Amino acid sequence: MPVTNNTLTLKFYNNVVDDLLLYAIILAKYENKWIFCKHKLRSTYEVPGGKRHKGETMLDAAKRELHEETGASQFCIKPWLPYSVIECGIESFGMIFYADVKKLGPLPNHEMESIFLFDTLPDIKQWTYPTLQLAIIQKYIENQNLSDS
């Protein structure tokens, strides 16, 4: 079922053709704590992610973004679920990944200022993309709960 707010609609899919996938979103944990980033130009939290570069696989894009935005140097990462965002009538596709980070190194000098580790999710009012990222995390938690039963 799509998630909609005033400006965008989020949809989840079972499969999407690889050529359509442009973005990687990475739900990451380190020592069982959620990893959130803080962009240099914003005061809010976001999960790691970004755009796929030309010639890059989605997995390579996710690995690159995870390292660039968190400093993660050792991790297990896997694709989880394709999604799309429809904004102003334009649909963009991406892949959600899950990463279990084993080691954090120095944060590369890119767009992120710092990372934060949370036992529980931070206050939604402090998120950069609250509708999108909360819906994705809730879907992941639901999936984990179904897997555990």
What is the tens place of the pLDDT at every residue in 112-143?
999 999 999 999 999 998 888 999 999 999 98
Task: Please report the pLDDT score of residue 149 as a whole number.
Answer: 54
What does the pLDDT average to over 22-50?
96
Task: Please report the pLDDT score of residue 8 as a whole number.
Answer: 86
* Higher-confidence position of 104 and 145: 104
Task: Please report the pLDDT score of residue 126 as a whole number.
Answer: 95
Retrieve residue 127's tokens: 């998120």
H or E segment at 60? helix 58-70
Q: What predicted TM-score, i.e. pTM, was given to this entire model?
A: 0.93
Task: Please report the pLDDT score of residue 76 as a whole number.
Answer: 98
pLDDT tens-digit map of 77-106: 999 999 999 998 999 999 999 999 999 999
Nearest residue to 107 (alpha-carbon basis) of 64, 69, 61, 51: 69
- Beta-strand (E) ranges in the chain? 3-4, 8-12, 21-30, 33-39, 45-46, 49-51, 72-87, 90-104, 112-118
Full set of structural domains in the chain with CATH? 3-141 (3.90.79.10)
Share of the chain above pLDDT 90, in %: 85
Mean model confidence pLDDT for the chain: 93
pLDDT tens-digit map of 67-76: 999 999 999 9
Task: Please report the pLDDT score of residue 4 as a whole number.
Answer: 66
What does the pLDDT average to over 22-49?
96
